[in-house]
Amino acid sequence: MPELAEVDYYRKQWDAGLGSPVTHVHLNGEKRIFRGTDTEALAEALIARRLRGSESRGKQMLFCFSGHCWLGLHLGMTGKLSTGPADYIPAKHDHLVLFQRKRALIFNDMRQFGRVLFARTPEAPPWWRDLPPDAASPGFTRELMDRFLDRHRKLAIKPALLLQDGFPGVGNWMADEILWRAGIAPHRPCSTLGDAERQRLHKETRFVARQALAKIGPDFADPPRTWLFHQRWTRTGICPKHKTPLQRAAIGGRTTAWCPACQA
DNA sequence: CAACCTGTTCGCCA
DNA sequence: ATGGCGAACAGGTT
């Protein structure tokens, strides 16, 4: 489910626990979601630590605790964050629950395509520090985007938009929204995009990312009514501009919807 | 019962 | 070494 703006929405769900110490940690270290992470160190180190703050970058989240503890979360396809009462009883896919005196901070991910990372280091760990600037940030420049497209000449633009090294935070619905606004057909190889098209691609990537953060980020509201978003899942979906039926196909293995009239 | 799913990651091949 | 493709991951829903 979660792309850039939804990730930021979920991150803020744990704000309720800011400043409070962790009293108890619930997790099952056998689960795939913890692959590569020392869960015993995590569970032990977080006890009595206070949640100091959090950030999201693209689809990644970082939770900063006292004692130089850093918790990284990725929501995968089905992950969500929520809070519960102090006596909350963990449900089936609640892989990590941080209990505080007054509440529980819950990470649930049914399909476990997400991930939990942990580090106890003076500075933010490399897996956070080395992330490229996300699509909504000022660091996402035309030059950076061009360099990425030039590295993937043969790849269709739709699957290119889903690569998190180049378009951090963009997911399936955002990619379709961006291409629709930019007037670019999803199967076009990156190398075929001219200067004007690249300019539009860059502009609309930033627009969709920023608008999504502003409109969806605060309360998980739906995007504006005129967005392709509302049309792309329904069988009868139409182009918001032309009212013509949308085309749909799997491109790069992912369901893609586009308007044949305005995307060339 | 089959197909599908707002996301990565791996193995294989060019 | 790098890029591109398709399957795999786990567990739901339609």
Compute how many other C-beta atoms are within 10 angstroms of the C-beta atom of residue A153. Answer: 12
Residue A120: strand, helix, or coil:
strand
Over range A56-69, report the average pLDDT: 97
Dig out the tokens for A42 from the structure: 């995590």
Q: Which residues 6+ apart lie within 8 Å of A116 measured at CB?
A: A33, A34, A37, A39, A42, A71, A72, A73, A74, A95, A96, A107
Q: Which residue approaches C3 most closely, CA to C1'?
A: A152
Question: How far from A220 is each of A5, A141, A217, CA to CA, in Å?
Answer: 8, 27, 6
Helix axes A195-215, A142-151, angle to 10 degrees: 120
Q: Which nucleotide is nearest to A111 (CA to C1')?
A: C10
Note the pLDDT tens digit of each residue in A30-57. Answer: 999 999 999 999 999 999 999 999 999 9
Question: How far does the CA of A58 sit from the C1' of B4, in Å?
Answer: 25
Tell which residue, A6, A9, A35, A12, has the closest CA to residue A169: A6
Dig out the tokens for A8 from the structure: 């930021």
Note the pLDDT tens digit of each residue in A199-237. Answer: 999 999 999 999 999 988 888 888 999 999 999 888 889
Dig out the tokens for A82 from the structure: 């929520």
Question: How far does the CA of A35 sit from the C1' of B11, in Å?
Answer: 19
Residue A148: strand, helix, or coil:
helix
- pTM (2 d.p.): 0.96
* Statement: the CB of A57 is under 7 Å from strand B: no
Which contiguous run of DSSP H or E holds residue A258? strand A254-258
* Statement: the CB of A151 is under 7 Å from strand C: yes
Note the pLDDT tens digit of each residue in A98-156. Answer: 999 999 999 999 999 999 999 999 999 999 999 999 999 999 999 999 999 999 999 99
DSSP letter for A192, please: G
A64, A123 Cβ separation under 8 angstroms:
no
Residue A178: strand, helix, or coil:
helix
* Statement: the CB of A242 is under 7 Å from strand C: no
Over range A68-78, report the average pLDDT: 97
* Statement: the CB of A211 is under 7 Å from strand C: no
A24, A99 Cβ separation under 8 angstroms:
yes
* Statement: the CB of A93 is under 7 Å from strand C: yes
Does residue A60 have a pLDDT over 80?
yes
Length of chain A equals 264
Mode of pairing for the β-strands spanning A115-120 and A94-100: unpaired
Q: d(Cα A167, Cα A141) in Å, to the nearest integer?
A: 11
* Statement: the CB of A77 is under 7 Å from strand B: yes
- Supply the pLDDT for residue A235: 81
- Supply the pLDDT for residue A1: 64
* Statement: the CB of A186 is under 7 Å from strand C: no
Residue A187: strand, helix, or coil:
coil
- Supply the pLDDT for residue A217: 80
Q: Which residue has the tokens 């000449």?
A: A153
Average pLDDT of chain A is 96
Does residue A250 have a pLDDT over 80?
yes
Q: What percentage of chain A exceeds 70 in pLDDT?
A: 100
Helix axes A172-182, A195-215, angle to 10 degrees: 130
Does residue A177 have a pLDDT over 80?
yes
Question: How far does the CA of A253 sit from the C1' of B13, in Å?
Answer: 18
Question: How far does the CA of A36 sit from the C1' of B9, in Å?
Answer: 13
